[in-house]
Structure 1
Amino acid sequence: MKLKSFQSQKGFTLIEVMVVIVIMTIMTSLVVLNIGGIDQKKAMQARELFLLDLQKINKESLDQSRVLALETHGETDVSPFSYELYEYHDQSTLQVQDLKNRWQKYTEFKTRQLPAHVSFSVQPLDGENYSKAKNTDLVGGQTPQLIWFGNGEAKTVKIQFYLEQKPIGSEIQIDHLGKINEI
């Protein structure tokens, strides 16, 4: 009669350990790749929402014959980058002219905040085109950089979005007819 000795297996085989290591490596790499991608996706979504806002502002300015301007507020330690809309009130017909009340916050457009570390810059492209203009409230040095004039026209600007000071997406250009182009 033969006695069979049963040895109980203790621990894992080398193959089992290697499979677990490979699976953990794949999962870790997916997590690391997605962490940076989330910020990029949020920035691109903010850019798309901004484009929709630009179209809405353009239509509203034209439909209601309002002079509207976009004003930006930079990111600080306590608040993210934001933008809001102002409306121009012509006071040339009034006898008392109040310089502070010419541009008033447009209450029908709420202040929009961008995600953390996302911002954009607005660069005017046609400074010399307004050299003969008489209304310095709309084209002078103290005016907002992006203005829709209420007749379908706008100041020509170039807008670039940034994520952590690195450009993302293509530049947005608004021409003098208010048309929005991505270059």
Structure 2
Amino acid sequence: MSTQQSLFYDWKKQNAQQGFTLIEVMLVVLIAGVFAAMVSLSVGGSETRRVLQEREQLVNSISVVRLESEDQGRMLGLLAVDQTAAEPARYFVMQFDPNDPNKDKRWKPAAGFKVHPLPTGVILTVSPLQDNSRQTSSAPLNDITSSILSPKLIWFGNGEATAARLQLSQEGQPIGDAVEVTTLGRVKKEDTRLTDSSSENGQ
């Protein structure tokens, strides 16, 4: 084989190898892209599930607070706090101490309950569904709610509560349906199930 033919053969071989390598690179890029998309969907789906689970956790927390309030006769409240530069949004249970002379300090963190932090970007809004004119057996409601730390959702320890609507949201978008608490301190759907059950037993 002449030198010219040998050089031509080597040139063709190099170009063939380069073309094959390019195909390999394209396949690797394609596979990597598909894999990245799958990972992204998996992570996004996991984050969505976590956020939706926050609503179920909130409903469970309400049930626990109601039972504790009724069983122990404790006046408890649920206080929501917005996100700050140092801490995420969160909610926690407060207890009313009528004996503290300082009205701003009558609501204190309740013993036996932990602060519940929310995922980044998630906030809890609590809106009362009734006026503040009613009174409890222990104190007028306006005295109970006069503190700067007064919760908008309160269980009075006697089976009653302030009706309220609780909405979790992320970046301005609601997360699921709002949770409504009745004057019995239960989530509204729980009251509906209890009513339906009573009707069936009556039949």
TM-score by length of 2: 0.71
Aligned residues: 171
Q: Retained in 2: the 8 A contact 1:81–1:118?
A: yes
Q: Retained in 1: the 8 A contact 2:62–2:186?
A: no
Q: For structure 2, which runs of at least 5 residues remain unmatched after alignment?
A: 1-11, 190-203
Give the match for residue 157 of structure 2: 150
Q: Equivalent residue of 2:169, what SS?
A: strand
Q: Where in structure 2 are the equivalents of 1:99-178 lying within 5 Å? A: 99-127=103-131, 130-133=132-135, 135=140, 136-138=142-144, 143-178=150-185
Larger radius of gyration: 2
> Once the 2 structures are TM-superposed, how far is the Cα of residue 12 of structure 1 from its aligned partner?
3.4
Amino acid at match of 1:110: K
Distance, in Å, in 2 between the alignment partners of 1:23 and 1:181 is 50
Q: Equivalent residue of 2:160, what SS?
A: coil
Q: Where in structure 2 are the equivalents of 1:50-129 lying within 5 Å? A: 50-91=58-99, 97-127=101-131
Distance, in Å, in 2 between the alignment partners of 1:51 and 1:39 is 19
Fraction of identical pairs, as percent: 33
TM-score by length of 1: 0.78
Q: Retained in 1: the 8 A contact 2:160–2:185?
A: yes
1:33-81 per-residue CA deviation (whole Å, 9 max, x = no partner) reads 2343333222112222222111110100011011001112110111000
Distance, in Å, in 1 between the alignment partners of 2:90 and 2:74 is 22
1:98-153 per-residue CA deviation (whole Å, 9 max, x = no partner) reads 323422221211111111111111111111xx425361223558532010111111
Structure having the larger proportion of residues in strand: 1
Q: Retained in 2: the 8 A contact 1:40–1:163?
A: no
> Once the 2 structures are TM-superposed, how far is the Cα of residue 171 of structure 1 from its aligned partner?
1.0
Q: For structure 1, which runs of at least 5 residues remain unmatched after alignment?
A: 1-6
Indicate whether 1:43 and 2:45 are aligned: no
| Alignment root-mean-square deviation, CA | 2.8
> Once the 2 structures are TM-superposed, how far is the Cα of residue 154 of structure 1 from its aligned partner?
1.1
